[in-house]
Amino acid sequence: MTSYEEAETEETVTCLHMTFYHPCQEDKMMFRCLNFCKREQLRVDETAKFGRDSSICRYNLIDSRVSRIQFSLQFYRKLNSSEFCFEIKNMSKKTKLIVDRTELGYLNKTDLPWKCIICFGDYQILTEMQEGESMDYFETYLRLAQMPFLQERCLPSLQPVPETGIFPSLFLSQDESPKEMDENESY
């Protein structure tokens, strides 16, 4: 018997699938340091940080308008349940983080729904959780989208949102940037 065969039945690992989109992704290549289409395994005690500062963030966004840490994710288990969950925290002082209909200010946090859209500035991230058994690790799997999930720059909306968490359009408020943005003005 090899040591592999001796091992317990291989357990599945909870995986957070994250699909990224930015309207200027081809020109600005802000995602060039992300490893797309590759499972990355993290220990459950690790906080997955996304942002500009590569010395702190495992997931590095190459964009001067992104905060040093833009947001972070932690893995946990719900109280009185065997269910795993991800929690997201906005670590940016200057930019709101929107999780479906919930607007997070700096240091606010919320649970990630099973499937949802996260936005900040012009960034859109579709996340979907794939359940697993491991109590030691979780995984991320990143993809790049060619098309936006939302037609407009995402802003909190008072409109009802379908249960899938994918809402076709949102409205720009008066004080936000126009629909056609100068590239220098874009997030």
DSSP letter for 96, please.
-
Binders of a copy of itself among residues 157 to 176 (CB under 8 A) are none
Tell which one of 79, 94, 146, 162 touches a copy of itself (CB under 8 A). Answer: 79
Residue closer to a copy of itself by CB (options 79, 147) is 79
Strand pairing class (97-99; 15-21): unpaired
The helix/strand count (H/E) of the chain reads as 2, 12
Q: Which of 140, 135, 160, 133 is nearest to 17 (CA)?
A: 140
Report in angstroms how near the CB of residue 108 gets to a copy of itself at its nearest.
Answer: 5
Site string for a copy of itself, 114-153 (x = CB under 8 A): ---------------------x------------------
Q: Is 76 in the site for a copy of itself (CB under 8 A)?
A: yes
Per-residue b/e over 35-48, b at no fewer than 16 CB within 10 Å?
A: eeeeebebeeeebb
The residue ranges that bind a copy of itself (CB under 8 A) are: 44-45, 47, 49, 56, 69, 72, 74-79, 84, 89, 91, 93, 102, 104-110, 135
